[in-house]
Amino acid sequence: MATLLTIGDAAKASGLTAKMIRHYEQSGLLNKSPRTESGYRLYNSEQVNQLRFIRQARNLGFSLADIHSLLELWQNPQRESRAVKQLAQQHLDEIAAKIAELQHMQQILTALSDSCRGDGSPHCHILQQLAKPI
Amino acid sequence: MATLLTIGDAAKASGLTAKMIRHYEQSGLLNKSPRTESGYRLYNSEQVNQLRFIRQARNLGFSLADIHSLLELWQNPQRESRAVKQLAQQHLDEIAAKIAELQHMQQILTALSDSCRGDGSPHCHILQQLAKPI
DNA sequence: TTTGACCTTACCACGATGGCAAGGTTTAGG
DNA sequence: CCTAAACCTTGCCATCGTGGTAAGGTCAAA
């Protein structure tokens, strides 16, 4: 008994939105799903698993392009785990770079904010620093 | 002697691109600059200072909307440094939230990646975990 | 005078998502 | 059985900040 879900129910079951699912189909991340006579998309449990896979990968910050690759690897029994790990490692590098960038901003801005009295007077070290010609 | 720069030179002097400067003008962040008879934008040193201010604020990750507020505060002698500090603090909160989110991804993905052999075999804990129904 | 380096506007693109509108379908209740 | 609500469909526009490109005008040096 293959239970078929409409897009709204598939969305609830996967944690995505119907909008996202249509968008993923549109952008080639998902195969076009079968439709009812009246044109409603229908999803079986295997496709819902795929949607969940996508959601979990999105939660880890993978781009849709990366997820496309991950899905292909997942569905390929001849995959080499090397390829998966490489994608993960590249993504980890990007994450680390973003964290470093944000921490750099955080460090500078914290110092500036600490040196601003934050009262009713116009004097403000933050503005002074931003205005500095360097 | 007010030296006037064309947009390309103003871009070099401020560290922005000409494209960005036009975009900032278009979006109301900058006042429309005076033009030559033939329509070229011209920038004096005060405006170049403003461009530099914008670049430095962008380097700290402020949104253009925030920078709009910062510019107004900067140019208002009656400002209260409280307002500036509040903007900085809000932005610091956002930065901290993003860092936390990225670190969360980093932590989970690092664990997954560590448990993937990354060799020629298809077995991969990363894919297994993404596929898990939870 | 020609050439190259500028400048102008106007449009499209990214990435991932949300919103809305105008219309068709299904389902549940009265 | 009929109606209203809750779905579904497609299509377009918006976000945010930046980049690209095209088609054209301007300016300065050789």
pLDDT in tens, A44-101: 999 999 999 999 999 999 999 999 999 999 999 999 999 999 999 999 999 999 999 9
What is the pLDDT at residue B1?
58
What is the pLDDT at residue B133?
83
State the greatest distance between any 2 C-alpha atoms of chain B, in Å, as a whole number: 72
In B, which residues are within 8 Å of A120 by CB distance?
Answer: 80-82
Judge if the beta carbon of A58 is closer than 7 A to nucleic acid strand C: yes
Structure tokens at B19: 């494209």
Q: Smallest Cα–C1' distance to nucleotide C5: which residue has it?
A: B8
What is the pLDDT at residue B62?
98
| Strand C, nucleotides covered by protein (CB < 7 Å) | 6-9, 15-20, 24-26
Angle at B19 between CA A112 and CA B56, to 5 degrees: 10
What is the pLDDT at residue B94?
97
Q: Smallest Cα–C1' distance to nucleotide C26: which residue has it?
A: A38
Using an 8 Å Cβ cutoff, are A119 and B86 in contact? no
Q: What is the DSSP string of B4-43?
A: -B-HHHHHHHHT--HHHHHHHHHTTSSPPPPB-TT--B-B
Comparing CB atoms, the residue among A73, A78, A112 nearest residue B88 is A112
Using an 8 Å Cβ cutoff, are A64 and B85 in contact? no
* C-alpha distances out from residue A43 to A16, A46, A94, B131, Å: 13, 8, 34, 17
Using an 8 Å Cβ cutoff, are B81 and A124 in contact? yes
Comparing CB atoms, the residue among B73, B79, B126 nearest residue A84 is B126
Contact A131 B74 (CB under 8 A): yes
Angle between helices A81-114 and A64-75 (to 10 degrees): 150
Structure tokens at B70: 């910062």
Query: Which nucleotide is closest to the Cα of B40 by its C1'?
Result: C7
H-helix or E-strand containing A33? none
Cα separation of B14 and B62, whole Å?
17
Cα separation of B7 and B47, whole Å?
11
For A27, half-sphere exposure in the C-beta direction (CA atoms, 13 angstrom radius) is 12
Judge if the beta carbon of A106 is closer than 7 A to nucleic acid strand C: no
Q: How confident is the model at residue A133 (pLDDT cuts 50, 70, 90)?
A: confident
Give yes or no for residue A19 having a pLDDT over 90: yes
Comparing CB atoms, the residue among B52, B81, B102 nearest residue A95 is B102
State the greatest distance between any 2 C-alpha atoms of chain A, in Å, as a whole number: 72
Give yes or no for residue A1 having a pLDDT over 90: no
**In terms of Cα–Cα distance, which of A35, A73, A43, A67 is closest to A53?**
A67
Using an 8 Å Cβ cutoff, are A109 and B99 in contact? no
Q: Smallest Cα–C1' distance to nucleotide D7: which residue has it?
A: A8
- A-chain residue closest to B132, CA distance: A53
Phi, psi of A2 (to 5 degrees): -85, 105
Using an 8 Å Cβ cutoff, are A89 and B113 in contact? yes
Give yes or no for residue A31 having a pLDDT over 90: yes
Q: Report the percentage of chain A scoring pLDDT > 90.
A: 96
Contact A109 B77 (CB under 8 A): no
Mean pLDDT of A123-128: 96
Name the stretches of chain B with pLDDT < 50: none
In B, which residues are within 8 Å of A102 by CB distance?
Answer: 61, 95, 98-99, 102
